Amino acid sequence: MHLACIFDLDGTLADSLQDLADAANHALRAQDYPTHETPRYRFFVGNGVPKLLERVLPEHARTPETLAHTRTLFDAYYRAHGLDHTRPYTGILPLLDILGKRGVKLAVLSNKPDAFAKEIVTALFGNRFHPVFGNRPDVPRKPDPAAALEAAEIMAVCPEQCLFLGDSGVDMQTAAAAGMIGVGVLWGFRDRAELLENGAKKLLSRPEDLLELFAYPA
């Protein structure tokens, strides 16, 4: 029986692409580097801010010094504007409320920096999740399973009792590495093929489809 669900944040719970693109483009523009159209960021995000900035910078500019300065510019902008456009996907809030009433334990695991993840989750979803983990200095990023297993321990569930919901191959890899059930969402940043190639056990077209996996007998 499924007792818990760990959610990815960007592209799963919330459409954050515009704010991520704006922050990265701000950092690029400030250094006179070319910017990118927002849709291209669907393929830049997902592996944490360092990898995002490495991907958006021109190859010749990917020096440690430039990456560090770009990170400073990105963080400052995102800290001030990370919620300008970011909103929950349609259907997510009702889904979470129903799951909560059913007693399903809910957590968030993101490769976004921990402080940003906690701020955004609190602003958009209140106290619906525990724990909420972003990337922390002492814990490896997804697809390493360490943070997912830590979340399961806090929720007092076995990994096999936990679904891992996400929109990317990284999320499906995390689920497999943690011994959890990977559930791919089709409303996010990546496509069906990537999710299946990385081990998704189930694909959801709409948030409410998740309820079928928590349909306990009366």
CATH 3.40.50.1000 domain position(s) in the chain: 4-15+87-214
Ranges of residues in the chain whose predicted pLDDT is under 50? 217-218
The CATH class that applies to domain 17-81 reads mainly alpha
Q: Given this model, what pLDDT does residue 1 score?
A: 75
CATH 1.10.150 domain position(s) in the chain: 17-81
Strand order in the sheet with 4-7: 132-135, 105-113, 4-7, 162-166, 181-185, 202-204
pTM: 0.95
d(CA 17, CA 96): 21
Asked about 138 being catalytic, the answer comes back as no
Q: Given this model, what pLDDT does residue 216 score?
A: 58
Q: Check if the beta carbon of residue 8 is closer than 8 Å to that of residue 110.
A: yes
Considering the candidates 8, 10, 15, 167, report the single residue annotated as catalytic: 8
Q: Check if the beta carbon of residue 32 is closer than 8 Å to that of residue 10.
A: no
Q: What's the fold here for domain 4-15+87-214?
A: Rossmann fold (3.40.50)
